[in-house]
Amino acid sequence: MQLEHKSIHRWAYDPFCPIDFRLQDAQRLAEGERTKWADEDDPLVLDCAAYLKALNAATTARERVSARARWPLIRATIDFAEENTFRGAEVRARLLAGQSDRQIAARCKVRPKLVGHFERLHFAVRHALKARDYLVKHALGRDIFVDQGFGDKEVAEFWGWCAIHGGVAVVDFMVERLRDVVAPGNEPTMMAYFDRRVPLAVQGFVASHALPYNEPMATVWYTCGLRSSEARAKGDEDEFFERDIQRRVLVRLARHHFAGKPLPIPLAAPEPEKRAAKGGGKQQKPVSKSKVKLLPTVTEVRKLVQEIGDLATAESHAASKSTD
């Protein structure tokens, strides 16, 4: 009895397989780096290779227009992948959330075939939706073990993180909050979440997950957590007020982070060099300033929290007077 031969796709066993492996295969075929088609090459890879080869061989504008006209869906898919818009970021997030082509097309106002071609050529993640580490590494471009936060232009990566860990419901919520303040045709930014029309709770959520978790931020989290614990012991009203202050602190820090500025917390100066004891012993080598870690002290962070708390108190008093 002869067994049926079945080809095994390399993404099934290769954890380092890139999510655009089909596009890379098509590029190699078009450039002549591969002369034979592999068993796993599907018609889409072959069509994309033919399009790229025709486009590379075109020497005049007329020939390029002709090549683009012969493969309109391939051309539209490649053009869509190069977009850095609200719609492109949303499509990527919804693919990571596990939605179908039709569901994504209905929400993002694109053709279902375009979504399918884009996923297979540029963002092949559906085979690995349960492999979170793989998606974080290859789809988001993040290190698995270090949380370096998100930059101002990394809305697609932030939404992708929300999709991987929260699913469709979280993506819907975060996308709609930004849709209230950013036009769909414009490039979205993380800073846009700090618009006044966005609720403070949402702003705090964005800031808390966008900020990098490093040693200075560890001091901030410790101080905010300590104040929240003290407020919880006093009563519900103080606890809720402290929670809002904590959100305001994180938003202020995130604004500086997105703008590429240092945190607005004075850093502690390095301790003076310790001399060797008299009567023997080798003198310690001076430590290079570049190797000294400057960290904020708990006192300085408390000053920042207190400053923002005073502003929040003033705002609440002003709001109560205006309602009266």
The string of pLDDT tens digits covering residues 10-39 is 666 678 889 999 999 899 888 887 655 555
According to DSSP, residue 15 is labeled: T
In this predicted structure, the answer to whether residue 221 has a pLDDT above a threshold of 90 is no
For the segment 117-136, the average pLDDT, to the nearest whole number, is 92
Look at residue 143 and give its three-state secondary structure.
Answer: coil
For the segment 248-257, the average pLDDT, to the nearest whole number, is 91
Q: What is the pLDDT of residue 2?
A: 46
Q: Return the higher-pLDDT residue of 4 and 72.
A: 72
For the segment 88-111, the average pLDDT, to the nearest whole number, is 95
- CA 297 to centroid of chain Cα atoms: 29
CA–CA separation, 179 vs 233, rounded Å?
Answer: 39
In this predicted structure, the answer to whether residue 287 has a pLDDT above a threshold of 60 is no
Q: Which helix (H) or strand (E) holds 227?
A: helix 215-234
For the segment 112-118, the average pLDDT, to the nearest whole number, is 96
Do residues 198 and 181 lie in contact, with contact meaning Cβ atoms separated by under 8 Å?
yes
Look at residue 303 and give its three-state secondary structure.
Answer: helix
Q: What is the pLDDT of residue 105?
A: 96
In this predicted structure, the answer to whether residue 272 has a pLDDT above a threshold of 50 is yes
Q: Which of 156-191 are b and which e, b meaning 16 or more Cβ less than 10 Å from the residue's Cβ?
A: bbbbbbbbbeeebebbbebbebbeeebeeeeebbbb
Q: Return the higher-pLDDT residue of 75 and 262.
A: 75
CA–CA separation, 50 vs 29, rounded Å?
Answer: 8
Tell me which of 22-36, 78-92, 186-200, 303-317 is least confident. 303-317
Q: What is the pLDDT of residue 8?
A: 56
Do residues 303 and 264 lie in contact, with contact meaning Cβ atoms separated by under 8 Å?
no
For the segment 60-65, the average pLDDT, to the nearest whole number, is 90
Q: What is the dihedral of CA 4, 10, 11, 15, to 10 degrees?
A: 130
For the segment 130-139, the average pLDDT, to the nearest whole number, is 90
Contacts of residue 5, Cβ cutoff 8 Å, sequence gap at least 6: none
Categorize the per-residue pLDDT at 139 as very low, low, confident or very high, splitting at 50, 70 and 90.
very high
Q: Return the higher-pLDDT residue of 113 and 284.
A: 113
CA–CA separation, 9 vs 317, rounded Å?
Answer: 64
